[in-house]
Structure 1
Amino acid sequence: MKSLDDYSEIVGDEVLSSLYRKARPLSGKHILHINSTYQGGGVAEILGSMVVLTNDLGIDVGWRIMHGTPDFFAITKKFHNALQGGGINLTEIKKRLYIRANEDFSVFTHIDHDCVIIHDPQPLPLIKYYTKKQPWIWRCHVDLSHSNSALWDFLKKFILRYDMMVISSEKYRREDLPVEQRIIHPAIDPLSPKNMEISEGVISKYLKKFGIPTDKPLITQISRFDRWKDPEGVVQVFKLVKKEVDCRLVLCGSMAADDPEGWTIFEKVERRANDLIESKDVILITSENSILVNALQTASSVVIQKSTREGFGLTVSEALWKGTPVVVSNIGGIPLQIGDGENGFLVEANDKKGFAQRIVQLLKDPKLAEEMGKKGKEMVREKFLITRLVSDYLDLLNHLIK
């Protein structure tokens, strides 16, 4: 089991001392996180580390996973898409099934904690089924800047019951919501299997295990097979890059339990890249394997993130932590992690030629790539490690729990 002591060489004693000091008033308090999946996606990864570390600080922190039927997760996936600007046919039956799943789950989940933190839309209505005796926080991890108005109005009725909404960027602040709103940027765990330092031997072993040759430069995108991650667009960009530099593309993403659209998107990508898959110039991977992701992000010449919507995009910080240069969309929370031309390149999400040009530039200029990678790692050390996230949550809890 990890402890804060393990992070001292990475973040320094001053950071750890500050965490212990902030945690003292919360000693013995009982905090509960609830989300909808235990693996796949950034939320589960964050909670997996943060719950352990806050318990190490002497705070009793628990984590529960919401139960749901396939119909429920199909509906909440539509909600997820619509919150980020997609269309939705918001029928009464969708609303009833959504609310009913939360009501049913409340029977299994007894809450007598000092604070409750609800993550994303899936468990949002739970608050309606309890006698509220403590602060409740809604932590929304998605991009709310283009939300479908009908869905937002429906969900807002539940959000109004909360003491606070936490978002990832100032862009997502809602002027029509009379609930306190606080910005907390996500972060990565530098000691998790996905981000810890691994040897060349381990990298080689995992790339070989998953059939990834290293005879030419690798370009990689790590993300779910999700329409907002634009994997089909990534293939189109790769075709432009390959005209200039012989290289290989790897698209690697897990299939999360709360994302029923994943295989549909995967099959579209397969059709788009059919000939390139047969020649092994494009490799698609759906394995949930953190060491593989680590190996890919470390071994790749360039990591890209061509999202058209992105709440934050932790895969960007993950790549930067390995010293790998990135070419990423100028969208959502991604620009919070990138100084364009300093520690990476920002490109407009739909500018395929722009993406290709920047990737080719990095492939042809290894010195520039190395410099950007070094700057990227130091930026992540300063701003986007899990210890900073724990500190932000301690500030939040001290503010709300009297």
Structure 2
Amino acid sequence: MKRLEDYQEIVGDEVIFRIHNKMTKLYGKHVVHVNSTYQGGGVAEMLSSLVPLMNDIGLDAGWRILHGNPDFFGITKKFHNALQGDPLHFTHIKRDLYVNNNEDFSQFTHLDHDACIIHDPQPLPLVRFYKKRQPWIWRCHIDLTDPNQRLWNFLKSFILKYDLVIVSNEKYLRKDLPVKQIIIPPAIDPLSPKNKPLTEYTIQKTMKKFRVPLNKPIITQISRFDKWKDPEGVIDIYREVRKAIDCRLVLCGSMASDDPEGYKIYSKIMKKHDALIKKRELILLTTENSILVNALQRQANVVIQKSTREGFGLTVTEALWKGKPVIASNIGGIPLQIQDGESGFLIDPQDKKGTVEKVISLLKNPEMGIEMGEKGKEHVRKNFLIVRLLENYLDLLAEVIK
């Protein structure tokens, strides 16, 4: 289990002292986080670091995983997409299954803590099935700029029972929501297996284990196989780049239990691009392995994040932390992380030609990528590490827990 003191060398003495000092208002308090999966995706990764750190400094913090069957997660995936602008055939069956699943979970999960922090739409209705004795906080990690209005109106019936809503970006604040809203950007753990320093030997050994040849420059995107991450668009970019520079594309994404669409998208790519895959020009990896992601990001010459919608984009944060040049869509929380032309490149996800030119430029000028990577890493150190997220939560909890 990590301790706050383990981060002292990274963030400095003042930050560590400040966190311990803020904790004095919260001794003896008990909080709980609830989300829908233990692994796969940025929420689970953040909680796996944040909850132990909360406990280390004296806050009693728990973590509950919402149980659900495949039908439930199929529906909540549709909800996730609809909150980001997709059309939705919203039926009473979908609504009832969604609500009833949360009610069933509430029957065997006791939430009698001093504060309840509910992550994303899947466990949102839980607030209806408890007698509120404490503040309830909804932490939404999704882009809410253009939600399906019918679904949003339905979900608001639950959100209005909450005391506070947290979003990742100023753009996601909702004028039609009277509940108090605050902004807390996500963060990465620099000491997690996915982000900790690796020896060159470990990197090479990992690449060999997962059959990633190193005889060509590597372009990679680390993301779920999700339509909003546009893996097909990344492959189109790669096909154009390789006309100018012989290189290899690696798409790496875990299959989270709450994302049933991932397998379908992965299978479609396998069939469509079979020739490239057989020649190991295009490599698809789905193993849930943090060291693999770490090694791949460190080995990559260019990291892409060609999302068409993005709540924040922690894979961008991870790559920047490893000092890599990143080319990413100018959407969601990504512009908070990249200063265009200085610590990476921001792109219009529809601008194929411009993206291809930027990838080629970085492959031809590795010294430019090194310079960008150094600036990007320092920006992450100051703004997007787990210790900052911990401090944000302490400030919040000190305000809402009486």
The CA deviation at 1:215 is: 0.3
* Match in the other structure for 2:395: 395
1:235/1:272 contact within 8 Å kept: no
Identity of aligned residues (%): 64
1:187/1:384 contact within 8 Å kept: yes
Q: How does 1:89-238 map to 2 (within 5 A)?
A: 89-238=89-238
Q: How does 1:241-256 map to 2 (within 5 A)?
A: 241-256=241-256
Q: Deviations over 1:149-172 (max 9, x none)?
A: 010000000000000110000110
* Match in the other structure for 1:299: 299
Q: Structure 2 CA distance, aligned partners of 1:108 and 1:353?
A: 54
Q: Structure 2 CA distance, aligned partners of 1:387 and 1:56?
A: 12
* Match in the other structure for 2:66: 66
* Match in the other structure for 1:10: 10
Q: How does 1:281-296 map to 2 (within 5 A)?
A: 281-296=281-296
Q: Structure 2 CA distance, aligned partners of 1:339 and 1:89?
A: 39
One-letter amino acid matched to 1:56: D
Give ranges in structure 1 of 5+ residues lacking alignment.
none
SS at match of 2:288: coil
Q: Structure 1 CA distance, aligned partners of 2:381 and 2:216?
A: 30
Q: Structure 2 CA distance, aligned partners of 1:110 and 1:188?
A: 29
Q: Structure 1 CA distance, aligned partners of 2:244 and 2:186?
A: 36
* Match in the other structure for 1:55: 55
SS at match of 2:33: strand
1:167/1:183 contact within 8 Å kept: yes
Aligned length: 402
One-letter amino acid matched to 1:13: D
Q: Structure 1 CA distance, aligned partners of 2:272 and 2:303?
A: 20
One-letter amino acid matched to 2:79: F
The CA deviation at 1:354 is: 1.5
Q: Deviations over 1:262-294 (max 9, x none)?
A: 111101222332221111110000000000000
Q: Structure 1 CA distance, aligned partners of 2:271 and 2:336?
A: 34
One-letter amino acid matched to 1:204: Q
One-letter amino acid matched to 1:371: E
* Match in the other structure for 1:25: 25
Q: Structure 1 CA distance, aligned partners of 2:98 and 2:198?
A: 43
Q: Structure 2 CA distance, aligned partners of 1:137 and 1:393?
A: 11
Q: Structure 2 CA distance, aligned partners of 1:198 and 1:40?
A: 22
* Match in the other structure for 1:86: 86
CA-based RMSD of the aligned residues comes to: 0.6
Q: Deviations over 1:26-66 (max 9, x none)?
A: 01100000000000000000000000001111000000000
SS at match of 1:26: coil
SS at match of 1:142: coil
Does residue 239 (structure 1) correspond to residue 262 (structure 2)? The answer is no
SS at match of 1:32: strand
SS at match of 1:284: strand
Q: Structure 1 CA distance, aligned partners of 2:271 and 2:337?
A: 33
Q: Structure 2 CA distance, aligned partners of 1:183 and 1:355?
A: 30
SS at match of 1:269: helix
